[in-house]
A and B are shown apart, each in its own frame.
Chain A
């Protein structure tokens, strides 16, 4: 990746190799995010209201075009959040075990070598 490209930066990802996800991110309006209806409207002009039930009609569709960030977003995906909590839980349990072991060592003088 870090070869000098036409853009003049070593960190450029390539000129027109822009992925479809990149194009969509720019071409679709902000706030259009997944499963929302975009209402395209222009003030003071009678206009066509297009309800592009975009993007992406279904999760499968979105994944196919590479827009799957919400799968890993803890706020949107309870499973991702679950995994996070599980890991934190495990860490806390390990600490608790360690502390208890230490505590036992203190209250039980013959066994305690430290402190």
Chain B
């Protein structure tokens, strides 16, 4: 039922892009399949190469190596074409006919999607709570009267509530500042308890100086609240491109 070979997809680019000599996840030559005024960056791979991931005993390095390689091809196509709609890891079509039908089928949404990410970078922003790294009880900074533990407890609670409110306001300010300088925002999926914000911002290249300036200002503001901001990127617009797996 599963064919032996398939067409592994890396990205959609403009049809007139020049990709050059690139090798893909299986060492295969990466090709540009042109159809419907679009270009599909793809490579023919033995499907068992990917099916190996299904195996419990698969080497952990395999997934890491595939992910790195996928990202490298996407970035190469990005650099060559100037704009890219990246696929996520593991998107495979049966053959080139299927690829042409895919492009016919999706052209209407691929054109505007490409327009949106043109001349843009994706930037990842995370904010960590540095205080949670320290045991909570190690810092009884509030009034401490051993004779009146109830009062001390209430005072400490009041302090905590005030601090949480100050942080909430700072975070809301930061999110507004960053969103105002981006074309779009996508929520990340980090669920670590110390992560206060995990988001990806689609930023136009010519607005990057303003975005960085806002990031620096926000980072300084958050430090005062014991929060550490980190900026990662630039990424190809993974969080704003093709979301095939969500479709059904």
Contacts and interface: CB of A to CB of B under 8 A. Distances in A.
Size category, A interface: 35 or more
Given A20-B67, A53-B53, A44 B93 contact: no
A112 to B, nearest CB: 12
Contact of A73 (B92, B192, B247): B192
Interface string B182-216: 00000011111100000000000000110010011
A48 B47 contact: yes
A47 B93 contact: yes
A27 interface: yes
B193 A13 contact: no
Given A48-B47, A50-B50, A65-B60, A40 B90 contact: yes
Contacts, number: 170
Contacts of A99: 149-150
B230 A11 contact: yes
A7 B88 contact: no
B94 interface: yes
A46 B149 CA distance: 69
Given A27-B88, A47-B94, A72 B67 contact: no
Given A18-B232, A44-B101, 20 more contacts: A9-B216, A11-B215, A22-B232, A23-B67, A23-B71, A25-B190, A27-B67, A28-B89, A30-B245, A42-B93, A47-B93, A48-B47, A48-B92, A48-B94, A50-B47, A50-B90, A53-B56, A69-B190, A87-B137, A98-B149
A65 B64 contact: yes
B63 A8 contact: no
A25 B191 contact: no
Interface residues of B, number: 65
A26 B153 CA distance: 44
A65 B63 contact: yes
Given A11-B216, A45-B98, A51 B54 contact: yes
B54 A56 contact: no
Contacts of A48: 2-3, 6, 47, 92-94
Given A48-B3, A98-B149, A54 B246 contact: no
Interface stretch (B13-21, B165-173, B235-243): B235-243
B55 interface: yes
Contacts of A20: 64, 67-68
B229 interface: yes
Interface string A31-55: 1110000111111111111111111
A12 B216 CA distance: 9
A27 to B, nearest CB: 5
B53 A27 contact: no
B112 interface: no
A23 B51 contact: no
Given A22-B124, A23-B71, A55-B63, A38 B245 contact: yes
B94 A7 contact: no
B216 A53 contact: no
Contacts of B102: 42, 45
